[in-house]
Amino acid sequence: VSEYSMKNHAALMERAKKVVPGGVIGHAALAPAAHPRFYHRGEGCRVWDVDDNEYIDFMCSFGPNLLGMNHPRVERAAAEQRALGNCFTGPTERWVELAEELVRRIGYADWALFQKNGSDATSLCLTLARAATGKRKILVADGAYHTTSPWGNPSKTGVVDEDRAHFLYYRFNDLESVRRAVAEAGDDFAGLMVSPFKHDAFVDQELVDPDFARGLREICDAHSALLMMDEVRGGFRMAPRGSWESLGVHPDVAAWGKGIANGYPLSTVVGTESLRPIAAGLYSTGSFWYSAVPMAAALETLRVLDEDDVVAHITKVGTEFRTGLDSLAKTHGFALRQTGPPQMPLVLFEDDDGFAKGTFFTTDALKRGIFLHPFHNMFLSAAHSSDDIAQTLERLEASFAELARAVSDGSL
């Protein structure tokens, strides 16, 4: 613990601040000040920051590292494609192969379009809903994160009212609130966007109530509106073929990203047959959207996802993590609120104004080589083994003890 240093980090941040507004902005900055912002390398579930501090990483790049960093099979597939070329004037065979794979994999998908970021994909869903229905109003869950675009950016900086003129808000798992928003939309209801579960930062996560999911499908059908699913965060961690597959509730379109190519930039919108002509008529493109390396990486990532039964594995190690944390917390006199699926856990302390306990705890954990998040859901990967979880819990015992000391001596 005594060797933990952030010296290189501080120097790099000084340089960054001179040439990058804010030094580091974006989701890396969505963490307490003590959390590192700059990284040097990664392997499996371990990352090293610019001071060579090693961490067992429970953020997985906020999701993309589904199989773990530097996965040999994915890297080989990417390297093979890179040797052939990445960015051409049009797509390669990988474009068709990956679309075929997504159509084969995802029950309701009859076609796929590719983009780079989750925000591209969710925004495309809205365009499709409006183009398909000729209507304008979009319903989104209050507090849900879907995009950096002005229609849904958590910040209102630079956003004008007109950007959000046709949005109405409902509460996740509350059909009554959906019905109210639908009534307000009247005959202008184009579509409703929903996440597979409520995974907003700062507040407890909520798994979906199956009746809510079924109710959304019925309401959208009754009003000829599109049900749009944001699988960007939950996709491929909740289930390999669609997070609501087991409920039998299928959206009309869905946005996927993050874990799809194990860290390579790629997202996709998949949709049903009736939307094919509308999708074909869009002008939707980007300079890098045909890039073949991420598509080759995605094809291999999806093969590994199935062959290694990754969802079962991350659920198992996530449950070990959750159970172990609960028991350590209890031993040291703390109560945790652990919510959401175990493979994407959110861990909050009870009675924790301003996340003071969470911040103390996760900051102490950093010094012991464990990278946690105090108020955002975390992510397990295929590279986290039961041994890694055991090692994590062993080290976190000391962090709980430190926290108990800080609470009892009144310094917190």
Ligand X SMILES: Cc1ncc(COP(=O)(O)O)c(C=O)c1O
Residue numbers of the site for ligand X (CB under 6 A)? 62, 117-119, 122, 145-148, 195, 230, 232-233, 257
Closer residue to ligand X, CB minimum distance, 204 or 218: 204
State the nearest-atom distance from the C-beta of 64 to ligand X, in Å. 8
Closer residue to ligand X, CB minimum distance, 135 or 199: 199
Closest residue to ligand X using C-beta atoms: 118
Buried b (16+ CB within 10 A) or exposed e, 148-164: bebbbbeeeeeeeeeeb
Closer residue to ligand X, CB minimum distance, 198 or 357: 198
Closer residue to ligand X, CB minimum distance, 146 or 223: 146
Using only C-alpha atoms, what is the Rg of the chain?
22
Bridge partner residues of 393 (DSSP): none
Specify the length of the chain in residues: 412
State the nearest-atom distance from the C-beta of 272 to ligand X, in Å. 20
φ and ψ at residue 114, rounded to 5 degrees: -115, 145
CA-to-CA distance for 374 and 154, rounded, in angstroms? 19
State the nearest-atom distance from the C-beta of 185 to ligand X, in Å. 22
CA-to-CA distance for 328 and 227, rounded, in angstroms? 42
Q: Which two tokens stand for residue 375?
A: 């108020």
Task: Return the closest-CA partner of residue 188 out of 207, 165, 171.
Answer: 165
State the nearest-atom distance from the C-beta of 117 to ligand X, in Å. 3
Closer residue to ligand X, CB minimum distance, 164 or 316: 164
Closer residue to ligand X, CB minimum distance, 122 or 339: 122
Q: Is 111 helix (H, G, I), strand (E, B) or coil?
A: strand
CA-to-CA distance for 275 and 236, rounded, in angstroms? 23
State the nearest-atom distance from the C-beta of 69 to ligand X, in Å. 18
State the nearest-atom distance from the C-beta of 116 to ligand X, in Å. 8
